Amino acid sequence: MEKVLKEITPKSSDFSQWYVDVIRKSDLVDYAPMKGFMVMKPYSYRIWEFIQEQMDRRFKETGHQNAYFPLLIPEHLLAQEAEHIEGFSAEVAWVTMGGNEQLPERLAVRPTSETIIGAMYAQWIHSYRDLPVLINQWANVLRWEKSTRPFIRTTEFLWQEGHTVHRTADEALAETLQQLEIYREVIEDYLAVPVIAGVKSAGERFAGAVDTYTLEALMGDGRALQSATSHFLGQHFSKAFDIQFLDEDGELKYGWTSSWGSSTRLIGAVIMVHGDDKGLRLPPKIAPIQVVIVPIGRGAEREAVVAHARELESALSPVCRVKLDARDEFTPGYKFNDWEMRGVPLRVEIGPKDMAKQQVVIARRDTSEKISVPEEQIGVAVTRLLDEVQKELFRQAAAYREAHTFSIVNYQQMEENGYRGFFRGDWCGSEECAAHLKSETGMTIRCLPFNETPVADQCIVCGQTTRYRALFARAY
């Protein structure tokens, strides 16, 4: 009955295949019978729960409340904001029948909820005293994608979407940026994924936004992943949905709105940033299992070792998420590979010799280092090592990004680096240059990063003098 531990395609030889191998073999997801849909197995859903916990706590601390709006949106509502429907119409799944009857109007399965929420807010908001409205929703959304990849782009995905209304543009913008900062904190401090914050160019904006702010991360193949976005919607949606309030001065005014979202895509970022040829490497803070104990010993010794390992498990369970792998149908070697593939940050090995010496061996998943630790210090050592692994993964990811970030003065320089990595360069601001670049090289403007220093003050495409600094990359 022993399952065969198949090799994972090496990351360097075929990154896409490596990704697919890793997510299947590490038990994160499975493919559903319908194209484009995935099943989040417990191992990945637990990671999502940790992300949710961190995000949700911060949303609540900043005054937001959760609510729940309908899954289905009538077609006329979805179409009410012109740019919005134009951006989403090709991706919508439609419910046309309910309980054996043809519906009088098609209902969209929400691709995002600005429209249905806008329609409700218009009814809820009357006075400046009703503002700000700070609501978040944890929900599933559907986007009918032609080409899909688990976590990164699937027809259905789980996310949170915040939707707020404010009295002034300044307040709405401050909210937009505050939420971006919450995302940054969770993504960098918990997922150990370094990100670059900035504003999207017009061509890359959310459909209906005045400005879209984004966090861009660099994956292990040198491509960028948009990791979370926060949109300043101005008065576009409040005008489309008539979200008005009577201000203190007695005037009827349109509200200023924001929306912001992050999704299970973040799990894809974790895999693609930290994974290696042995499989996943999970940051301890979001690892469902932080420490696995593997007892080593055969025959008569085995029983004593497993009993002792069980004691270690009890000793460790107050300080970390620990699992004892006492399966007798697998060898220690198989288990080592198995848990390495699943990205468990620390492995505790315990055998008869260790028992005699009252020590254990701890193996780090991030560096492959093995450390002998006296048993009585195991709790302290594990706590310290988990902290170190967390930091080391971030450090490695930041170093990789550093090594793959290039300042360029013309776009031909991208080719020298195989179009892999982040390219910092200047951009004249015209969508023509952006479109030309994309069709020539597949590179897109990821964002105009905050606080960038100039490169050459000349557009990397047309050479025109400019003060815009952009970050370019091929993106997921």
The residues binding its own copies (CB under 8 A) are 1, 30, 32-34, 37-42, 45-46, 48-49, 65-72, 74, 77, 89-100, 106-107, 109, 116, 119-120, 123-124, 126-127, 129, 135, 139-140, 142, 144-146, 155-156, 158, 246, 327, 329
Q: How far apart are CA 468 and CA 154, in angstroms?
A: 33
Considering the complex, what minimum distance in angstroms separates the CB of residue 42 from its own copies?
4
- Smallest gap from Cβ 45 to its own copies, in A, equals 5
* Smaller CB separation from its own copies, 29 or 173: 29
Complete DSSP assignment for 349-382: EE-HHHHHTTEEEEEETTT--EEEEEGGGHHHHH
Q: Provide, rounded to whole angstroms, the least separation between the CB of residue 328 and its own copies.
A: 10
The whole-angstrom separation of Cα 408 and Cα 440 is 17
CB of 232 to its own copies, least distance (A): 23
Q: Minimum distance from CB of 91 to its own copies (Å)?
A: 6
Q: Which two tokens stand for residue 324?
A: 């004892």
Residue (318 or 418) nearer to its own copies, CB: 318
Angle between helices 265-274 and 15-25 (to 10 degrees): 110
Give the pairing type, strands 291-295 and 322-324.
parallel
Pick the closer one to its own copies by CB: 36 or 275.
36
CB 179 within 8 A of CB 260: yes
User: Which tokens sit at 84?
Assistant: 């919005």
Residues in the chain: 476
DSSP output for 434-452: HHHHHHHH--EEEEEETTP
Tell me the DSSP string of 192-237.
----EEEE--GGGS-TT-SEEEEEEEE-TTS-EEEEEEEEEEETHH
Q: In this structure, what are the phi and psi dihedrals at residue 284, rounded to the nearest 5 degrees?
A: -50, -40
46 vs 302 by CB, closer to its own copies? 46
Q: Which of 206, 160, 201 is nearest to 179 (CA)?
A: 160
Nearer to its own copies, 68 or 416 (CB): 68
Contact 143, 155 (CB under 8 A): yes
The minimum distance between CB 84 and its own copies, in angstroms, equals 16
Q: Output the CA–CA distances (angstroms, integers) from residue 364 to 320, 346, 428, in the order listed.
A: 15, 5, 47
> Measured from the CB atom, is 314 or 372 closer to its own copies?
314
Residue 47 C-beta: closest distance to its own copies, Å: 11
Cβ nearer to its own copies, comparing 294 with 433: 294
Which among 387, 407, 405 has a CA at the least distance from the CA of 397?
405
CB of 46 to its own copies, least distance (A): 7
Complex with its own copies: residue 8 or 38, whichever CB lies closer: 38
8 Å CB contact between 322 and 305: no
Which residue reads 């971030």 in tokens? Answer: 394
Q: Which residue lies nearer to its own copies by CB, 280 or 428?
A: 280
Closest separation between CB of residue 20 and its own copies, Å? 17
Rounded to a whole number of angstroms, the CA Rg of the chain reads 25
The residues that bridge with 348 in the sheet, in sequence order, are: 293, 362
Name the residue nearer to its own copies (CB basis): 338 or 426: 338
Pairwise CA distance, residues 310 & 304, whole Å: 10
Residues whose CB falls within 8 Å of the CB of residue 192, separated by 6 or more in sequence, listed in order: 270, 273, 274, 283, 285, 390, 393, 394, 397
Q: How far is the CB of 63 from its own copies (least distance, A)?
A: 11
**Nearer to its own copies among residue 80 and residue 458 (C-beta):** 80
> 3-state class of 421 per DSSP?
coil
Give the sign of the dihedral formed by CA 436, CA 439, CA 441, CA 445: positive
* Smallest separation (angstroms) from its own copies to the CB of 48: 8
Nearest CA-CA partner of 165 in 56, 243, 58: 243
Task: Supply the minimum distance, in Å, between the C-beta of residue 50 and its own copies.
Answer: 12
Nearer to its own copies, 145 or 181 (CB): 145
